[in-house]
Amino acid sequence: MRRLKRKTLFSLALCLHAASGQAETLEEAWNAALAASPALAAQTQQVAAAQARQNAAQALNWPTLSLAAGVTHLSQPPTTSIDLSPLGIPSSLSMPLTDSTVSLGQLGLSYPLYTSGRITSTQQAADANLKSTQAQTDKTRQDLKLSVAEAYLNVQRADAAAEVAKQLRDSLVAHRNDVKAMEKQGLAAPVERMTADVALADAERQLIDARQATELARAAYNRLLARPLTQVVQLDALADGPAPDMSPEAADKALNQRPELQALQSGQLALREQAKAQRGEDGPQIAAQASYWRWNGLPTNDNHTGTIGVMLSWNLFDGGLNKGKSDALVAEAASLADKQRDAESLIRLDVLNAQLGNRSASERLSVATAAEDLAVESLRLTKLRYQNAQAIQTEVLAAETRLADARRARTNAHFDVQLARLRLLRAMGEL
């Protein structure tokens, strides 16, 4: 209930933020998604469970105090018979040994002195399991942040594509008007005006598709933040971050930082320690014990007593039960070790792929920026030639298309650079 209340207040704050007209930053988007994610909430509960198991393991060092009590009613209490004939009395005397109701109570205290490493291994296994669970939570958090960043940039990418489509539509509207004016002056044939109309209609279609894409991008973004899919989205431009790590040592750094490897390493340790604890079950167990007994209904002078001592228990034979359980845990740890080696090579490949993505995105941006400048100038010159009857309309429309393509390529390259930087941070385990 408390978490639901926080989530509701956070969502209300986000709605007020959107209503105020302020652009939402990526950091704010991350905070909203982390607060609303069911997957992260579930993983957080796993951490709480691991912490509870760790506390339970630590409690094994403490003494245990137990209380037991019982009441027994006898329908025929046991009796003893005494022969009185040696005394010259030809009879016998019957006497009850207990009352018809007997009550018994015990208060016991036990403290482990030696457990063949069972308690120590159990505690170390719980500690390692907590670290593994926390690493898995960190992985979930970083994966979610990358997904939100991709959706965030997809919204901006879709907005930019829609703006390019609008610029193309507006430019073709101006061109169609110029052609109509030239047709009235007898400088252009009706077929040229119709060709311009066809090109304008296609540009209108592209604009409709682009606007639909923006709505879908916003819906996907809102879903990650647990908002209504149609909520208005205003996003702040993503600032350029620090230069990406393109060094050959980046992969080694990633191996020390990626939560996936930390989870596998801690998982192996937890399983090995559990195996040791299981083997400890077969070793001697020594505990100091003290008890206090009290009873009623028994034929004794006192109705209470106390005991203190040391208890040794040793499981000499169990048919291989504990050994089998221990071997199974060792095999599971070996399986995680194999997975870790595979994960290490995948992480190296992931880092290399992200580095290559950063380099190629930067190169594409440089090329696309230059191409856009050339396309702008090419369209200007082609229009001048067309107005001077030195070029045909097909050349103008082709130049318009090339400029739109160049603008789309530049905007895509721009967002590819930003996304590649974030993906490298995720590959390094630093997101």
Q: What is the pLDDT along the chain (431 residues), one digit of tens a residue?
A: 444 344 443 444 444 444 445 889 999 999 999 999 999 999 999 999 999 999 999 999 999 999 999 998 877 777 766 666 666 666 666 666 667 788 889 999 999 999 999 999 999 999 999 999 999 999 999 999 999 999 999 999 999 999 999 999 999 898 888 888 888 888 888 888 898 889 999 999 999 999 999 999 999 999 999 999 999 989 998 887 778 888 889 999 999 999 999 999 999 999 999 999 999 999 999 999 999 989 887 777 778 889 999 999 998 888 899 999 999 999 999 999 999 999 999 999 999 999 999 999 999 999 999 999 999 999 999 989 988 888 888 898 999 999 999 999 999 999 999 999 999 999 999 98
Residue with token string 């594509």: 161
Residue 51: CB atoms within 10 Å: 15
The Cα–Cα gap between 422 and 431 comes to 7
pTM attached to this predicted model: 0.82
For residues 97 and 116, what is the distance between their CA atoms, to the nearest angstrom?
45
Q: Which helix (H) or strand (E) holds 246?
A: none
Copy the structure tokens of residue 119. 């308690």
Cα–Cα distance, 400 to 378 (Å, whole number): 9
CB 110 within 8 A of CB 288: yes
Place of tokens 């709480």: 48
CA nearest 420: which of 257, 254, 243? 243
Spell out the alpha helix ranges (H) of 185-258.
Answer: 190-224, 250-257
Which residue type, as a one-letter code, is found at position 291?
A: S
